[in-house]
Structure 1
Amino acid sequence: MKIALNTDYYSGTGSPEMPLRYLAEAGFTHVHWCHQWCTDFLYGKAEIDAIGRLLRGLGLTLLDIHGSAGVEKCWFSTVEYQRRAGVELVANRVGMFTALGGTGAVMMHVPCFQCGQDEAARQRVLLQFDALRRSLDELMPELERAQVPLALENMWGDDWKLLNALLDAYPPERVGITYDSGHGNSDCLRQLELLNAARERLTALHLHDNDGSSDLHQPPFYGTVDWERLAEILAASPYPRELSFELAMRNTPYFDKGRQEQTPEAIRAFLGNAMLCCERFAELAEKKRCRNRDVTAAANT
């Protein structure tokens, strides 16, 4: 079964070699590249070439890259030089995606209206949204040249008003949705029906679980995500690629909070359990898709 896992399941900086080796050993076939997603790190050619050799040597395929949200280099910053630097950071990940033969999308965080926000906060978000539109306009020629889609991510407590505005403003082959099932499972706002309404634009996935109170990045079936309903929506969508999971070891029984470095045995145990949970959901989603095909075939006979 072909399943993608994020590279930062226990560490998101430093050398990715051991996380990738453990990931391949556990049976994952595809990579959701998540190293350095929350930094201003720019990948150079030598680093990208080394990652490519490592992926090929381990028999792994790059599915998606989680583009950096940036610290100072932020593509929706209202400070102009930071915004422009953020555009360069996104372009860096687009180039990396192309060089490594990515088969999915470059996934990006975007500003949003959240449940409980006051008016002052919403006005600040609107300024960020305007900055983001400028950045997207500047990136469109490069995305078109490279034939790389951006998949914009729903956020915690996101009401999708700004996300849907972006989907309306840009073509589906260039801009789609990354559905983050953890962000979509906040107690203040469950987002599955928002996904269902926009499922034709589903381009990438961040699949993980939580209890609704915080963004735990647990394996499927650990928390309160409605995996049955999500499988139905996926089955009805045109999403064409491998299922991609975004998990964290730190919120599972396999993580030892008393250790700075987790043992190889604990990492392997976590990944073994994670694979079982991911396969369980993948089987559920495939059953729903097969059922849909059978219903369609029966209706056409």
Structure 2
Amino acid sequence: MMMTSVNTDYNNDLHDWGAIEHQIKCIAEAGFSHTQWIHDWEGEYLYSRSEMFQARDVLSYYGLKAHTIHASEGGQRDIFDAQGHRVPHVRQRCTRIRKDYTNPNEYLRLAGVDLLKNRIDLCSHIGANAMVLHMQLSFGMFQKNKEDMEDYYHQVYKSFDEVQPYAKAAGVKIALENLLFTPVKYELDKFERMFSRYDPEFIGLCYDSGHASIMCQDNYYLYLQKFYDRLYVTHLQDTDSVPAENLDDDLSVLHADAHRVPFTGVLDWDEIAYWVAKAPLELPADFEIGLKYSQAFESQEEEMRLLADCHERAVKFYQMVLDAKEKQ
């Protein structure tokens, strides 16, 4: 059986159960077997147990299996510039976040731990085996003062030490994602620190191919090559990348993160399939795509046509991974 997975928010991330269920229904009708639950990936929303049961039952009703989820690490990290453009606030600590497991304020840190445990509970209720976490780095702060970086990781370690037994008891792994905006050296440092401190039953990698195609301009596959043995989740998408001179322009980077379906951009999907085949990741690999994101489809027919095309690409990639496994 060919297994395929796509994100539940392929068109929007509205807090509207009607919109959520519509997307899940369409995913199932397009032929996908699995999904990554990504709704509420950003913000401080806490799922109640009744909502967790609702998510489980909606997925079950349409015959979809929950593969993974995208967890949140606190409030929105965006600000608006003088022209009214939404700009990611990632270089410094975002002070508006009230649930932040990296925060030096103990109350806010503990609230952030509660948010992580809430998403572990969501995994348990819907049957997902791993959750993605951004672990956004305030790298502008790190660049100014190395002590601030060590203080940041001190709080991270404290929080993850507390979360570890909870996650292991639930059988849920946390997969740290390679991010936009953050320079590669800080991302590598993040992964090396966390993978050396925590065992593979707790912490792994989520490879976002689109992010890598933008930030890792010398080698789109760097994180796969270095950390494939920790690869538990994927966010597979394609982009046209961005000129290297624009990497310090956060708006340019954000707009380049196109979340297009695979096989439409700069990435070598044979290379990605090779590393996915070597990894301990439980298939299928998750696609993370945006189909006319936050825009209305012209018709139900257009929506299903685009989803069917995405499913065909997911089937193709699944077969590529199987072929790569046979050759290894």
Distance in 2 separating the partners of 1:82 and 1:117 = 19
- Counterpart of 2:10? 9
Question: 5+ unaligned residues in a row in structure 2: which ranges?
Answer: 76-96, 243-255
Residue in 2 aligned with 1:153? 177
Aligned to 2:304: 268
Conserved in 2, the CA contact under 8 Å of 1:32 and 1:244? yes
Deviation at 1:112, TM superposition (A): 4.2
Please say if 1:175 is aligned against 2:203.
Answer: yes
Partner SS, residue 186 of structure 1: helix
Could you tell me the percent identity over the aligned residues?
29
Match of residue 102 from structure 2: 76
Contact 1:111–1:128 (CA under 8 A) maintained in structure 2: no
Q: Map of 1:44-193 to 2, 5 A cutoff?
A: 44-71=48-75, 72=97, 73-102=99-128, 104-112=129-137, 119-120=143-144, 125-156=149-180, 157-159=183-185, 160-186=188-214, 189=217, 190-193=219-222
Bigger Cα displacement from structure 2, 151-160 vs 261-270: 261-270
2:257 paired residue number:
215
User: 1:299 — aligned with what?
Assistant: none
Q: Does 1:200 align with 2:224?
A: no
**Which residue does 1:21 correspond to in 2?**
25
Q: TM-score if structure 2 supplies the norm length?
A: 0.80
| 8 Å CA contact retained: 2:142, 2:148 | no
Give the residue type in structure 2 aligned to 1:3: T
- What secondary structure sits across from 2:9 in the alignment? coil
CA distance 1:125–1:6, shift in 2 (3 Å): farther
Q: Deviations over 1:110-154 (max 9, x none)?
A: 13487x998228765554333221110111121122121111111
204-213 vs 273-282, which deviates more? 273-282
> For residues 117 and 262 of structure 1, what CA distance do their matches in structure 2 show?
45
- Aligned-residue Cα RMSD (Å) equals 2.3
Deviations for 1:16-40, whole angstroms, at most 9, x for unmatched residues?
Answer: 1101000000001111000010121
8 Å contact from structure 1 (residues 87, 135) kept in 2:
yes
> Which residue type is aligned with residue 129 of structure 1?
Y
Task: Give the CA deviation at 1:266.
Answer: 2.4
Aligned-partner residue type, residue 162 of structure 1: K
Quick one: structure 1 residues 122 and 179, their matched pair in 2 at CA, closer, same or farther if it must change by over 3 Å? farther
Which stretch has the larger CA shift, 79-88 or 3-12? Answer: 79-88
Deviating beyond 6 angstroms after TM superposition, the runs of 4 or more aligned structure 1 residues are none
Map of 1:281 onto structure 2: 317
* Matched AA of 2:67: L
CA 118–51 in structure 1, closer or farther in 2 if over 3 Å, else same: closer
TM-score normalised per structure 1: 0.87
Q: Residue 47 of structure 2 aligns with which residue?
A: 43
Give 3-state SS (helix, strand or coil) of 1:177's partner. strand
Aligned-partner residue type, residue 9 of structure 1: Y
Q: Matched residues in 2 for 1:94 and 1:178: separation? A: 16
Which amino acid counterpart does residue 117 of structure 2 have in structure 1?
A
Residue identity matched to 1:2: M
Segment drifting more, 117-126 vs 278-287: 117-126
SS at match of 1:270: helix
